Every structure is written in C-alpha cells, then in structure tokens.
Chains A and B, each alone.
Chain A
Amino acid sequence: MIETFLWLLGYQFAGELLARSLGWPIPGAVLGMLFLFLTLCVRKGIPDTLRHNVPRLMTHMSLLFIPAGAGILAFWPLLAERPLAMAAVLLLSTLATLLISALTLTLLLRRQQGRKARP
C-alpha cells in the first residue's frame, strides 16, 4: 500500500509541478494520470503493487465525491435563485452532451469497422 501511494502521489506531484510552473489550468492529477499511462506504455507492464491495490481503490471511487455532493448544501443559496430554469438547463444540456458524444462515437466506430458492425 505504501508503494502504491508513493507511485500515485509522486505522479500527481509531478503533474502539479508541471501545471503550476507552466501556468496551465489543468489539474495536476489529470496530467499525472497521462504521465503514468505513458510510463506504463514504455515499461510495457504494471508494477505489482499497482496491479494489486488499484482495482480495490477504484471500486470505491464514488465515496470520494460524497463531500462534493454534500457541497450542494453550501451552494444552495446560489442554486435556489431560479431553481426550475437551472435544473432544466442542467438536465437538458447533460442529456444533449451524452447523446451527441455517444452517437458520434458509435457512428465513427461503425464506419471504422465497415459493414460488419451494422445491425
């Protein structure tokens, strides 16, 4: 477990240092993920400690968003200004984003696979 967190925090650290020194608005953790992914591609394998511990960590990723979800309590005065209009905008635009993304990818994958993938 110690080695796992050294790997993960180390890559997050590197990501933060790069993002901050270049003034990019990208979270260090996202850069850290991409660096670690590239490292794994170069290494052609996953270190044992990560292979063993990471799946267990990912199962409970939802837990980590509960504090942010409860943050709606703190933001409530801002959200309650025009609640129906804002709820409608969030619902419709999220549906539109899901739909457009899924359709685009499905069409591109089908085109790539040729006629075989057509239903």
Chain B
Amino acid sequence: MTPTLHEWLHQSPLTGIFLTLLAYRVALSISRRYHGHPLANTVLVGAGLLIVSLLALGLSFDEYFRGAGFIQFLLGPVTVALAIPLYNNLARLKRSAFAILCSIVVGSVAGVASAVLIAVAFDLPPQIVLSLAPRSATTPIAIGVAEAIGGIPTLAAAFVIVTGIIGAVLARPLLALLRMNDDVVLGVATGIAAHGIGTARVFQISETAGAFAGLAMGLTGFVTAVVAPLLVHFLLS
C-alpha cells in the first residue's frame, strides 16, 4: 500500500534534506544582505528558520532527522578535511606552536572552570552543573565526559550547541573590541570556546582563522576529555 501524501512527507528523508538546504540558502542570503553581521550567523538563522518551518509543518525532530542525519554525517569527513587548511598554515603553526598549545590548555581549563563556577554561583542543581562542564568540547566528547562525571548526556549536547552558536556570534565582535586583529588569535580562541560551530563561522572570515580554529577544536576536545573529570572533582569538593 502506498503511503498517503501526508505520511510520505513525514517519513521521507527528502523532506529533511531539502528543508535543511533551503534554510541554509536563505540564511546565506540574509548573512550576505547584512554583510556578514555577527547576528546574521548562518547556523543561528538557518536553525531558527528550520525550527519555525518544522513547527509550521507539524514535523517532529525525529522525522526531520531521517533526512538531516545524512547532512550531519558529513561533519566527519569535513572535520578530517580541516587538516588541509592547517597544513597550508604550517609555517605560522611552526613559528607559534608553543604559544598556541599553551593557550589551548589554558583555554580548555578556563572553559570547564568558568562553566562550573558560574553555574554554581547561579545555584543550578548538580546534574545541570555537571552537564555544563564539557560544553566547550565537540558534541561526541562532551556527551562522553558528561556521562563519565554524572551529568545528563542529552542536556550536555544541547549546551554544546548553544555554546557554539553564542561563541560563533560573539567571537569576532569581542576580539575587534579588544583590537586583536590576528587571524590566528581569532581562530584559536573561537576553536577553544565554540568548537565546530565557531570553526565554521571563522572559515567565512579567513582560511587561516578557520585552520587554527580546527586545530584548537580538536586539541580542546583532547584536553577537556582528560582534564574535565579531575577539574570538576577539584572544583566541587
């Protein structure tokens, strides 16, 4: 028996894939229209448009994800591809490797500590504090760390995404305010604080910034996975 039109719309992966591409294309036009204004961020606007259209069409996130999962899958190979821009910046990386590695360690620790301390100051319940701790790392690492330290994995994933969007929006205006114009500084800080979403954002600004954001994102993941459990134990004891 062939499904009705309504059932097909809810079941076909085509719906999710098409809606995602459409939302992205519209977000891209809006971003260009406002000359790359930070608030016209393509992930922020695209996801916003998509949420509105899912609610309007009565599609659940699970139905949407049947198609969108294919798009999200490409994050894997694209993450691997970050090695190419990084290699293109090999000279700069060699020159500043020590400074960059130190900043990534300091920044990763600051990422975990700031979330835990501020959450405690706001009197949030322990499970939420623990889910916030790994929020600067990429999603798979944050989920693993949250699980290991007693947080809620799905909540941790949500915090990661919101953190990424906040970081992607704020990184450039903040550094411009501080008169920090080095693409390497922009890239490293954004990669530490806002993982892949921030990396995608700074790629729109400069390939160098994107390359160093990708490196910082990867290494912040390593450091967070190793340091977060110890640091959280220390801060909360």
Tell me the chain B residues, 172-231 only, with Cβ under 8 Å from chain A. 174-175, 178, 180, 182, 184-186, 188-190, 192-194, 196-197, 199-201, 203-204, 207, 210, 214, 216-218, 221-222, 225
Does A102 interact with chain B (Cβ within 8 Å)?
Answer: yes
Query: In the complex, which of the residues B84, B114, B170, B222 contacts A26, with contact meaning CB atoms closer than 8 Å?
Result: B222
CB of A97 within 8 A of chain B?
yes
Interface of B (DSSP majority class): helix
Tell which of B87, B114, B201 has the most Cβ of chain A within 10 Å: B87
Min Cβ gap B71→A in Å is: 6
For residue A69, CB closer than 8 A to chain B, the reply is yes
Let me know if A2 is at the binding interface, CB within 8 A: no
Q: Are A101 and B107 in contact (CB under 8 A)?
A: yes
How many angstroms between the C-alpha atoms of A72 and B49 in the bound complex? 12
Closest to B115 in A: A93
- Distance in angstroms from A8 CB to nearest chain B CB is 4
B232 within 8 A of A: no
Chain A, interface size: which category? 35 or more
- Cβ of B124 < 8 Å from any Cβ of A? yes
> What residue of chain A has the Cβ atom nearest to residue B139's Cβ?
A68
A82 to B, closest residue via Cβ: B124
| Chain A residues with CB under 8 A of B194 | 94, 98
- Contact A89–B188 (Cβ < 8 Å): no
B64 near A70: Cβ-Cβ < 8 Å? yes
A41 to chain B, nearest CB (A): 7
Q: A30-B221, A55-B207, A98-B170 are contacts. A69–B110 as well, Cβ < 8 Å?
A: no
**A residues at B contact (CB < 8 Å):** 5, 7-9, 11-12, 15, 24-30, 32-34, 36-37, 39-41, 46, 50-51, 54-55, 57-75, 78-79, 81-82, 85-86, 88-102, 104-106, 108-109, 112
Please name 12 pairs of A and B residues whose Cβ atoms are closer than 8 Å in the assembled complex, sorted by A: A32-B80, A40-B83, A40-B87, A65-B200, A66-B68, A69-B46, A79-B162, A82-B128, A90-B132, A90-B166, A93-B135, A94-B193
